[in-house]
Amino acid sequence: MINRKILYVFLLALFLRICFILTLDNSVDVWGDWWDELGWKIASGKGYWVNNPYFPDGTKFYAWRSPGFPFFLAFIYKIFGHNYLAAKIGLAFLSSLTCILLYFIAKILVDGKTAFLSALIYSIYPASIFWTGYLAPETIIAFLLILSIFFLTKWDIENKRNLYLIFGNLIFGYLCITRPTFIILIPFIILTIFIKNKKNFLKELPLVVISFLIFSILWGIRNYKVLNHFIITSTEGGIVFFIANNEYSLSSPSGFYHAENIEEFKNLSEVEIDKILYKKTFEFIKKKPKLYIKLILNRFVRYWKFYPSTISGPGESYKKSHQIISFLSETPIIILGFLGIIKSFKYYHQWLLLYLPVFLYSGVSILIRTTIRYRFPIMGFLIIFAIYYLKDTKYGRKYFRQSG
């Protein structure tokens, strides 16, 4: 049962997010990054495709974006029509539910007081409010990741019930067709499941693998029918990798540079273009490993920076106020969060499922391409770690004793 306090946190979170959304112009989609277009096409029965991003009169692209977020938008649009406000309120609802999920994760791993504070902080955490106002996948990615880890943590700590394991893996599988970077975590999660349940692992392994991969397999079958290639993510991966890893990327303020020669792409399919761009990127890394290392270090700084660069932002550059709010909120969470991680190493076995996204997802993102918003999905976990660290400080012990 959800107690009254956490219900109030949920309502507070929903209220703050809707208030923020109502300050925006909800008659337009300022993100303009194919998500809304694909969501509406699905909802209106027009299929899943976009115009060729290189040649407007060229062959349509049928797997240009991963489908997880467009499917969510299509669900909203099917009920409410092509309504941006409804879609944003849907995101606000998911973000508010994320507070409750963090509460239960922290309660399982630590205690009720840590859980309540973690949920409360996430409810007022500026980035979690901000991203509900834009038709970008950050909110649903954070929700899916935290929901998956909730089920897997419940399976691990409480009773090893297969139902929790299946739900956790299925949700993580859907996350992988929302942000493909997470696919790389699957073998490590399977290894963690083995470590935590060696006795029944072989019996559960087929169930584990199927539940992880079912959404990717279904998407791959669809793409095979349309493109004659078994693509389980999207055909955008090559360009994302290439623009962040070429000889001009480091000198670009954004950290990526469109150095591709689109004339090479004429009369090629989206699959062929994707392969070419991957090949070019790996050739660059092989030829200029020192520059690639510099790019990695640059992305590490960008990823863990306490505030966003003014050159980016949804629809327009981030304002100075965005940077100040970000610095004031992100700095303590990141610093205290990593202190909490260090403290947790003493009991690392119970925290393994939280370490995976914090370290592996972050690491893979930094190796490929990153912006500060890519960090957002793991910030809920860092909030838990931050409270976990504060719990045993002088003032933390005083608070927990008094609130006990």
- Give the bridge partners for 50, in sequence order: 61
Integer Cα distance of 344 and 226 in angstroms? 48
Given this model, what pLDDT does residue 313 score? Answer: 82
Integer Cα distance of 233 and 213 in angstroms? 12
**Environment class of 28 (CB within 10 Å of its CB; exposed 0-12, middle 13-18, buried 19+):** exposed
Per-residue model confidence as pLDDT tens for the chain (404 residues): 568 899 999 999 999 999 999 999 999 999 888 999 999 999 999 999 999 999 988 999 999 999 999 999 999 999 999 999 999 999 999 999 999 999 999 999 999 999 999 999 999 999 999 999 999 999 999 999 999 999 999 999 887 788 999 999 999 999 999 999 999 999 999 999 999 988 889 988 999 999 999 999 999 999 999 999 999 999 999 999 999 999 999 998 888 999 999 999 998 999 999 999 999 999 999 999 999 999 999 999 999 999 998 777 888 889 999 999 999 999 999 999 999 999 999 999 999 999 999 999 999 999 999 889 999 999 999 999 999 999 988 777 777 766 55
Given this model, what pLDDT does residue 2 score? Answer: 61
| Residues found in the chain | 404
Q: What is the DSSP letter of 269?
A: -
The residue with tokens 């938008």 is 73
Coil/strand/helix, residue 40? helix
Given this model, what pLDDT does residue 404 score? Answer: 53
Residue 63: how many other CB atoms lie within 10 Å: 25
The residue with tokens 């309120």 is 89
Given this model, what pLDDT does residue 403 score? Answer: 59
Tokens coding 292: 């690639």
Q: CA 190 → CA 61, 159, 356, 368, distances in Å?
A: 33, 18, 11, 23
Concatenating the DSSP letter of every residue in 89-101 gives HHHHHHHHHHHHH
**Environment class of 82 (CB within 10 Å of its CB; exposed 0-12, middle 13-18, buried 19+):** middle
Given this model, what pLDDT does residue 401 score? Answer: 67
Q: What angle do CA 330, 333, 338 make, to 5 degrees?
A: 125
Integer Cα distance of 377 and 371 in angstroms? 12
Concatenating the DSSP letter of every residue in 344-379 gives HGGGHHHHHHHHIIIIIIHHHHHHH---GGGGGGGH
The residue with tokens 């976009």 is 50
Which one, of 64, 77, 93, lies nearest residue 36 by Cα?
A: 77
Integer Cα distance of 129 and 238 in angstroms? 31
Tokens coding 117: 């504070």
The residue with tokens 């909203």 is 76
Q: CA 385 → CA 50, 61, 165, 237, distances in Å?
A: 41, 42, 23, 32
Given this model, what pLDDT does residue 72 score? Answer: 98
Integer Cα distance of 38 and 347 in angstroms? 44
